[in-house]
Amino acid sequence: MPIPRPERSACPVGGSNPRGPGLRTLDMKKPSTKNAKRPAATTALAAVAGVVAASVVLSVAELIGAFFTARATPVIALGSTFIDFTPPWMKDFAIATFGTNDKLALFVGMGVTILLLACVLGIVAYRKWALGAAGVLLMGAIIVTSVVTRASVKPIDAIPSLVGTLAGLIVLRLLISRLWRMAVWPDSAADVAAKEPERPASSRRAFFAVSGVTALASVVAATGGRMLSAARSGVTQARDTLKLPSPAKTAAAVPAGVQSPTPGVAPWITPNKDFYRIDTALSVPEINAQDWELRIHGMVEQEVTITFQDLLDAQLIESHVTLTCVSNPVGGNLAGNAKWLGMPIRDVLKMARPKEGADMVLSTSIDGFSASTPLEVLQDDRDAMLAIGMNGEPLPLEHGYPVRMVVPGLYGFVSATKWVVDLEVTRFEDKQAYWTQRSWSERGPIKTMARVEVPKSFAKVAAGTVAIGGTAWAQTRGIDKVEVQIDNGPWTEAVLAAEASVITWRQWSYEWDATPGPHYIKVRATDGTGEVQTDKRADPVPDGASGWQSVAVTVE
């Protein structure tokens, strides 16, 4: 006789119709043709059981996770691990396709993957419990591994994922047991008898009741977990009430006329809320300024640790600096200009006294991102700083609160470390930064770039005088000329807006006498050294895009 499937456990969850082994109805019907079809339907229910169990895993971990490191919840840890293993072309594709919605896209992708996996595991568990359970435990092991291998995460932070996985396994078992009890196995009459199926309608109702209640409880637990961790951290409130000290050296006055007169060109100062955000952080690190410390070590005479109070007490400087992302495509908008307040990194390095032979500073964030910056760039007079203020406010959480690096002239991936906690003085020969390990360059001076912002690509404009305008940058070299070319006509100089400094972007405008028909607008800049922006097209990987932007418009 075949071994009957396990049918212990009357699950009292939900309370509706708990049928223990002793409560079986005696009025069992013979399996009808309708009943014979039920395994297919039950397979679908098994998938539902899998999804409910997955929601339990994630929500229980989220709820308990409120008492552990924020980055230790399964979704964040899995997503971050996925990001760390993302090949450069995929990162590029994601940014090109989704822009700064790349994280949302990742969450959607993960959601779909988890959903499918949960369905499969539910079905497998229904057919062969041991295999399904092994699958769940394997997923749990993967989650726990991805949690404990994150930066600044302690082994104890595995607890939310462990408890979540166990809770999910228990729920899966309860739901699958219900399915076993209501299923009819048409293999043999004896088998059917051994199963003693329940009446289909009521047992299916019970299954849905239990699933529904559990799923709802999951949503409540997950939301509660979110709110609890936000309330517990208090970082947002601390940031909002932080008073920034005034700088010892205020920013150089911005001359009148830095803004391009062309309507629609980006504001010269990028408001914090519109500042592009690029990072690998799925959940924004929440660091208490009081707990923040920066360790400066490695090839130094004197290891130094500075606190946030040390920064507040230091001789701060203020400077307008334009940040640019290496992933910015030609004509793209991954650049922003802000007034930063911070302590010069050269002052910090003076305390630590780098040793002979060091040529790089590896800066690391609390979440494990790192950047390699040439030592000399941090020691010269270009205002590289440990920034605590952005446009007169404490750094927004997404932009590195409480402290980030800002280094004029270098792409962010080799300089602009947010949530920075560690500076190691070392050599390019000895250490590689986060993106360098992923086949991006080890150095990243910003390439000269001119961008058309008005009119937009594929715009329709009226014939006559058309205002063209945009922004150009070549940080540390400055912009000396911007030229515009219509179709294959001559290159003509645009009118440059005032220049604030060589480390900020420079805007421009151009009046075009447009004739009806389709046209191309091309733009190129010349930097302060007299070098014309190259027309050679390059992808962002490995050290930044190049080429002239060309905008197609229709004149009517």
Per CB under 5 A, residues contacting Mo ion are 278, 325-326, 412-413
Q: How far is the CB of 366 from ligand MTE (least distance, A)?
A: 8
Q: Which letter does DSSP use for residue 487 in this model?
A: T
Residue with tokens 């998938």: 47
Instruction: Tell me the HSE value of 96 on the side-chain side, using a 13 A CA sphere.
Output: 12
What is the spatial distance between Cα 445 and Cα 415, in angstroms, rounded to a whole number? 10
Residue 474 has which token pair?
């070549």
Of Mo ion, ligand MTE, none, which one sits near residue 182, judging by CB under 5 to 8 A according to partner kind?
A: none
Q: Is the CB of 278 or the CB of 314 nearer to Mo ion?
A: 278
Instruction: Strands of 444-505 (E only): list them.
Output: 449-454, 460-461, 464-473, 479-486, 491-493, 495-496
The torsion angle over the Cα atoms of residues 149, 153, 154 and 157, rounded to 10 degrees, is: -90
Q: How far is CA 524 from CA 457, 483, 489, 496, in A?
A: 16, 5, 14, 13
Helices (H) and strands (E) in the chain, counts: 13, 19
- Stretch binding ligand MTE (CB under 6 A), from 192-200, 212-220, 272-280, 349-357: 272-280
Indicate whether 197 belongs to the interface with ligand MTE (CB under 6 A).
no
Please say whether the beta carbons of 473 and 328 come within 8 A.
Answer: no
Please say whether the beta carbons of 478 and 502 come within 8 A.
Answer: yes
Q: Is the CB of 45 or the CB of 287 nearer to ligand MTE?
A: 287
Residue 499 has which token pair?
């220049």
- Give the burial string for 173-191 (b: 16+ CB within 10 Å, else e): bbbbbbbbbbbbbeeeeee
Q: Is the CB of 59 or the CB of 324 nearer to ligand MTE?
A: 324
Q: How far is the CB of 338 from ligand MTE (least distance, A)?
A: 9
Which one of 207, 276, 401, 440 is in contact with ligand MTE (CB under 6 A)? 276
Which one of 279, 383, 483, 527 is in contact with ligand MTE (CB under 6 A)? 279
Q: Using only the alpha carbons of the chain, give its radius of gyration.
A: 30
The identity of residue 287, as a single letter, is: I
Indicate whether 277 belongs to the interface with ligand MTE (CB under 6 A).
yes
Q: How far is the CB of 407 from ligand MTE (least distance, A)?
A: 10
What is the spatial distance between Cα 364 and Cα 485, in angstroms, rounded to a whole number? 43
The identity of residue 487, as a single letter, is: D
Indicate whether 543 belongs to the interface with ligand MTE (CB under 6 A).
no
Pick the closest to residue 54 from 155, 131, 154, 123 (CA basis).
123
Q: How far is the CB of 471 from Mo ion (least distance, A)?
A: 18
Indicate whether 426 belongs to the interface with ligand MTE (CB under 6 A).
no
Across-strand partners of 175? none
The identity of residue 338, as a single letter, is: A
Q: How far is the CB of 401 from ligand MTE (least distance, A)?
A: 11
x-or-dash pattern for ligand MTE, window 324-353, by CB under 6 A? -x----------x-----------------
Indicate whether 418 belongs to the interface with ligand MTE (CB under 6 A).
yes
Of Mo ion, ligand MTE, none, which one sits near residue 338, judging by CB under 5 to 8 A according to partner kind?
A: none
Q: Which letter does DSSP use for residue 467 in this model?
A: E
Of ligand MTE, Mo ion, none, which one sits near residue 417, judging by CB under 5 to 8 A according to partner kind?
A: ligand MTE
Enclosing H/E stretch for 345 = helix 345-352
Indicate whether 419 belongs to the interface with ligand MTE (CB under 6 A).
yes
Q: How far is the CB of 324 from Mo ion (least distance, A)?
A: 8
x-or-dash pattern for ligand MTE, window 362-391, by CB under 6 A? ---x-x-x----------------------
Pick the closest to residue 240 from 398, 440, 419, 393 (CA basis).
393
SS3 337: strand
Please say whether the beta carbons of 327 and 91 come within 8 A.
Answer: yes
Of Mo ion, ligand MTE, none, which one sits near residue 399, judging by CB under 5 to 8 A according to partner kind?
A: ligand MTE
Indicate whether 433 belongs to the interface with ligand MTE (CB under 6 A).
no
Burial of 495 (0-12, 13-18, 19+ CB in 10 A): middle
Which one of 280, 307, 379, 550 is in contact with ligand MTE (CB under 6 A)? 280
Q: How far is the CB of 365 from ligand MTE (least distance, A)?
A: 3
Q: How far is the CB of 242 from ligand MTE (least distance, A)?
A: 18
Of ligand MTE, Mo ion, none, which one sits near residue 548, judging by CB under 5 to 8 A according to partner kind?
A: none
Pick the closest to residue 553 from 522, 523, 518 (CA basis).
518
- Stretch binding ligand MTE (CB under 6 A), from 347-355, 376-384, 412-420, 537-545: 412-420
Indicate whether 416 belongs to the interface with ligand MTE (CB under 6 A).
yes
Q: How far is the CB of 416 from ligand MTE (least distance, A)?
A: 4
Residue 455 has which token pair?
């009119």
Q: Is the CB of 16 or the CB of 233 nearer to ligand MTE?
A: 233
Q: How far is CA 116 from CA 47, 120, 134, 464, in A?
A: 9, 6, 17, 57
Q: Is the CB of 186 or the CB of 396 nearer to ligand MTE?
A: 396
Indicate whether 83 belongs to the interface with ligand MTE (CB under 6 A).
no
Of Mo ion, ligand MTE, none, which one sits near residue 323, judging by CB under 5 to 8 A according to partner kind?
A: ligand MTE
Residue 396 has which token pair?
């927004």
Of ligand MTE, Mo ion, none, which one sits near residue 365, judging by CB under 5 to 8 A according to partner kind?
A: ligand MTE
Q: How far is the CB of 378 from Mo ion (least distance, A)?
A: 18
Pick the closest to residue 44 from 32, 56, 33, 52 (CA basis).
52
The identity of residue 450, as a single letter, is: A
What is the spatial distance between Cα 26 and Cα 174, in angstroms, rounded to a whole number? 23
Of Mo ion, ligand MTE, none, which one sits near residue 279, judging by CB under 5 to 8 A according to partner kind?
A: ligand MTE
Residue 268 has which token pair?
């010269």
Binders of ligand MTE among 107-136, rule CB under 6 A?
Answer: none
> Which positions lie near ligand MTE, rule CB under 6 A?
275-281, 323, 325, 336, 365, 367, 369, 399, 412-413, 416-419
